[in-house]
Structure 1
Amino acid sequence: MSISTMRAGPSRLLLMLMLVVLLASLVLAQTALAQQADPGREAAFAVPAVDADLWRQVKSGETGPNYRDSRTDSTYNLINESGETWRQIRDRWVSPFGLIAVLGMIAVIALFYLVVGSKKLDEPRTGRKLLRWSLVIRSLHWTVATLFILLALTGLNLSYGKSVFRPLFGDGAWAAMMSGTKLIHNYLGPLFGVLLVILLLRLLGQNLPKAHDLQWFAKGGGLVGKGHPDAGFANGGEKVWYWLLATAGLAVIVSGFVLDFPNYGQARDTMQWANIIHAVGALGLTAVALGHIYIGTIGTEGSLEGMTTGYVDESWAKEHHNLWYEEVKDQAIPEEQLAAGQQASRGDEPAPRSS
């Protein structure tokens, strides 16, 4: 089996996942608009027995057990001011702008692909391979990536699914869908957090900033000017993605643990701020992850095979990571020798030669 054949399956799978995200995002775009068009709908549904006179009393600022309470730890008043502040931040800012970020990234990727297209190698492949990713790193990467996609899709459903699926399928189906979504999100979240921290620690040494990273950014990763900028094992863009995961990603993990385990005495305002931090970080990372997925799959020839087989062609290494290539070029292995070694390790019989 050739290297190109081995990477065809995962490439199609990731392309299909991107299309699913695109279609889901287009549908979910109606959610933010619906929420903004009728901001009182959620409150009216939550307290349907409240009439106009009672709302006037609430609006006047009257406090008491039945009206308004300014305490953040209140759990039994009609309106809690900190809760209303959280709802306003969520509905007016986080939800609509998060969706704009995700849809905007999809639009930018689609436009870039239509105008520029996939980045092909400047030089023909040499057929000599360099080991880039070990089996342990690849296993960690694909596990974390799978969990990230599942958490992103379930998180989008938790944030926007109410206005989309409830009218389509009715209360019963919607309730079952949201129950399953919540279970998946809550139970896979901690596992994702633990594995992401392990992956970040394994890759820390390869993602420390270097002086040549500034040149990489100045040339737009090779889009500006002639020639490709210098890059070590990780280029400037990959390091930015790493440090986003190491900062915003950890904020999402910590806030997610606060939300996932409310039985450790968190105050109401702590849970509210954890929810805002979690949503902002998760939506931002989802938007950037779409760019990472595009560049690592159909956007750049030869990138995906590194994470599927562990090996990259010499031409790819020299073009995209020239400083790393100079360090390891003596370790290049002919593709035929690599394939024979993999076949021997599996104990396969050699394929018969055609006459």
Structure 2
Amino acid sequence: MNLLTAQAPIRVPRSGKGLALGIWRFLVVALVLMLSLGFTQLAVAQAEPDREMRTAAPSISADQWRQVRSGETDANFRDSRFDSNYNLINSSGETWRQLRNRWVSPFGLIAIGGMIAVIALFYFIVGRKRLDEPRTGRKLFRWSLLMRSLHWTVATLFITLALTGLNLLFGKFVFRTLFGDAVWAWMISASKVLHNYLGPIFGVLLVVLLISLLKDNIPKKHDWVWFKKGGGLVGKGHVDAGFANGGEKAWYWLLASVGLIVVASGFVLDFPNYGQGRDTMQWANIIHAIGALGLTAVSIGHIYIGTLGTEGSIEGMTTGYVDETWAKEHHNLWYEEVKDQAMSEEEMAAQKTGSNSGGASATKPS
């Protein structure tokens, strides 16, 4: 089972390889620039370790705090945001803090930890889903180089954002205790820079990927049967599936709904200079955290099924080809459409030789 789905295989010019290479080069340059920004910020912070202390507010009495909270301010009061009527201390900020620390963070950790525990238990009890029949050695083309490059780029960005987000949310309880303030300061600063700068890139590429894969993810009647039979775990025999089965379509539409909500809320947080107030930023933060934690939990199950959990699934996304037996067992409706295109290793080698000599190779469109 692959991370996402694509269209039926046809032939396109070799220019897709050049485009994929261009995408990778762009991403490498962008990553280098973002890392340089992170190290620059760290260098400045280390050069002036007392800067924050010099600009900190002097000691304030309890009466003054009560005055600020109640709104009874004088001409010396200055708010921290332009054109804002919020007090320095406001109830909405405390509500946000309570929601984030008492509900979102704990239950997000439970969701992710619970998913890992369920997968581990399933693996030790049921084991890996192996092919029922021997491999034929004949291959069917499933993923083009361009689609594989786009898939792995989005997947890599997703994992990076998930790890940096988890570090921002929970890292202080683990790494600060283990490594001390100096290492923890570097980790949190680097995580913040990576998360803020990679997020928009992920959002744009996710939209491109979703548009490219829309056609094969339209729900069909047999998808409901796929869910009722638990993807083949309930009852006997294989369940019908086209190029994308019910589980892959569910993951697609989860990304197309919750994923885009996470991206949109992330843009609100990433660009606070477009007039949004504190209340908007606070709710965007809560929505972003809930959606991101939920997607991270589900993605762990998805990654397991597409790699260790199912024999032959990851081959399509690494080589572009899948074995005939795998296609017949997991995507039988698609197999019936393309079974006459199956090739042996010798035929594939001959086709590759012809492609390198200047001919067109079999690839899927983006």
TM over 0.5: yes
Determine which of 313, 324, 327 is the counterpart of 1:303.
313
CA-to-aligned-CA distance 1:179-205 (integer Å, 9 cap, x gap): 111111111111011111100000000
Give the alignment partner of residue 187 of structure 1, picking from 197, 219, 227: 197
Separation of aligned partners in 2, 1:325 and 1:307:
17
* Counterpart among 60, 66, 72 of residue 64 in structure 1: 72
CA contact (8 A) 2:71 2:87 kept: no
The amino acid across from 1:222 in the alignment is G
Q: Which residue in the other structure is 1:247 paired with?
A: 257
State TM-score, norm by structure 1.
0.78
Letter in 2 for 1:239: K
Q: Displaced runs of 4+ in structure 1, greater than 4 A?
A: 46-55, 72-76, 343-347
Work out which of the residue numbers 273, 277, 282 in structure 1 matches 2:287. 277
Give percent identity, aligned residues only. 73
**Length, aligned pairs only:** 297
Q: Deviations over 1:260-311 (max 9, x none)?
A: 1111111111111111111011100000000110000010001000000111
Tell me the equivalent position of 1:222: 232
Q: Distance in 2 between matches of 1:93 and 1:337?
A: 57
Q: Aligned with 2:139: secondary structure?
A: strand
- What is aligned with 1:120? 130
Pick one of 248, 266, 271 that aligns with 1:261. Answer: 271
The aligned residue for residue 202 of structure 1 is: 212
TM-score, normalized by length of structure 2?
Answer: 0.76
Distance 1:238 1:48, change over 3 A: farther
Contact (CA 8 Å) 1:74, 1:80: kept in 2 or not? Answer: no
Alpha-carbon distance in structure 2 between the residues aligned to 1:226 and 1:52: 71
Kindly provide the amino acid, as one letter, of the partner of residue 187 in structure 1: Y
Give, in whole Å, the separation in 2 of the partners of 1:342 and 1:245. Answer: 35
**Which residue pairs with 1:176 in the alignment?**
186
- Retained in 1: the 8 A contact 2:231–2:239? yes
Deviations 1:8-64 (A, max 9, x none): xxxxxxxxxxxxxxxxxxxxxxxxxxxxxxxxxxxxxx9996777778x58xx8443
Cα 1:265–1:324 shift into 2, 3 Å: same
* Matching of residues 308-347 of structure 1 within 5 Å: 308-342=318-352, 345=355
Displacement of 1:135 = 1.1
Query: For the structure 1 residues 75 and 52, does the alpha-carbon distance in structure 2 shift closer, same or farther, using more than 3 Å as the test?
Result: closer
Q: Aligned AA for 1:64?
A: E
Q: Distance in 1 between matches of 2:61 and 2:179?
A: 30
Q: Which residue of 1 aligns with 2:34?
A: none
1:235 corresponds, among 245, 248, 259, to: 245
C-alpha distance in structure 1 between counterparts of 2:209 and 2:203, whole Å: 10
In structure 2, runs of 5+ residues without a counterpart are 1-55, 358-366
Q: Give the SS at the match of 1:136.
A: helix
SS of residue paired to 2:322: strand
Larger relative CO (CA 8 A, sep 6+): 1 or 2? Answer: 2
Deviation of 1:163 after TM superposition, in Å, equals: 2.2
Q: CA deviation at 1:177?
A: 1.4
Residues 227-247 of structure 1: CA deviation (Å, up to 9, x unaligned): 111001100000000000000
1:26 alignment counterpart: none
Question: 2:296 and 2:306 mapped to 1: Cα distance?
Answer: 15
SS at match of 2:214: helix
Give the match's secondary structure for 1:107: helix
SS in structure 1 of the partner of residue 347 of structure 2? helix
1:118 is paired with a residue whose SS is coil
Q: Note closer, same or farther for the CA distance 1:122–1:47 as it changes in structure 2 (3 Å cut).
A: farther
Amino acid at match of 2:334: W
> 2:223 touches 2:241 (CA, 8 Å); kept in 1?
yes
Confirm whether residue 109 of structure 1 aligns to residue 119 of structure 2: yes
Q: Aligned-pair RMSD on alpha carbons?
A: 2.6
Which whole-Å CA distance do the structure 2 matches of 1:346 and 1:118 have between them? 38
Using the TM superposition, give the Cα deviation of residue 340 of structure 1 relative to its aligned residue in structure 2, in angstroms. Answer: 4.0
Residue aligning to 2:21: none
The answer to which of 162-171 and 87-96 deviates more is: 162-171
